[in-house]
Amino acid sequence: MRVIKIVFPFIFLLLLSCSQSAEVKKEADKKIQRKAWVIRVKPDKLEEYKKLHSNVWPGVLKKLKEVNIQNYSIYYRDGLLFSYLEYTGNDFDADMKKMAADSLTQEWWKLTDPCQEPVETAGEGVWWADMEEVFHMD
């Protein structure tokens, strides 16, 4: 009985430690879909676009996290904006609809949309145009 009393806390700690370790691993193994798009930025709106993005509204960032977006970057060169993000959810289209229905995000887009215009080859009604992944290494 005495032995059990002594050993029990160690077993408990061991199990707790293992479960935390498993959680970290589970997080790392989460299925990630990478996405990339391109769009034009109007030359006279570049500075405004950069200024807006140096301080994105917290509510917009919160919504992006809510719809399972992470590691999201936007790059600029030669009149083009390139965006790269990682999606960790199970239904990208549904999550994008959820984001588009968010009133704060809509207000944000009222500021950013006038800075942009789709590339010439974007299809009818397409804003950010998909890019094709030709290589990936984890």
Between 124 and 132, whose beta carbon lies closer to its own copies?
132
Annotation says 136 is catalytic: no
- Enter the tokens of residue 43: 């030359």
Set 53, 62, 65, 97: catalytic member: 53
Tally the residues of the chain. Answer: 138
Between 74 and 96, whose beta carbon lies closer to its own copies?
74
CA-derived radius of gyration, the chain: 22
Spatial CB neighbours of 97, under 8 Å, sequence gap ≥ 6: none
Tell which residue, 26, 9, 38, 63, has the closest CA to residue 127: 38
Between 70 and 90, whose beta carbon lies closer to its own copies?
70
Q: Would you say the C-alpha torsion 71, 33, 92, 22 has a positive or negative sign?
A: negative
**From CA 128, how far away is CA 61, in angstroms rounded?**
18
Between 76 and 90, whose beta carbon lies closer to its own copies?
76
Interface residues with its own copies (CB under 8 A)?
2-3, 6-7, 10-11, 13-14, 17-18, 20-21, 24-25, 28, 34, 36, 38, 49-50, 53-54, 56, 61, 64-65, 69-78, 80-82, 84, 119-121, 129-138
**From CA 27, how far away is CA 104, in angstroms rounded?**
29
Catalytically annotated residues: 53
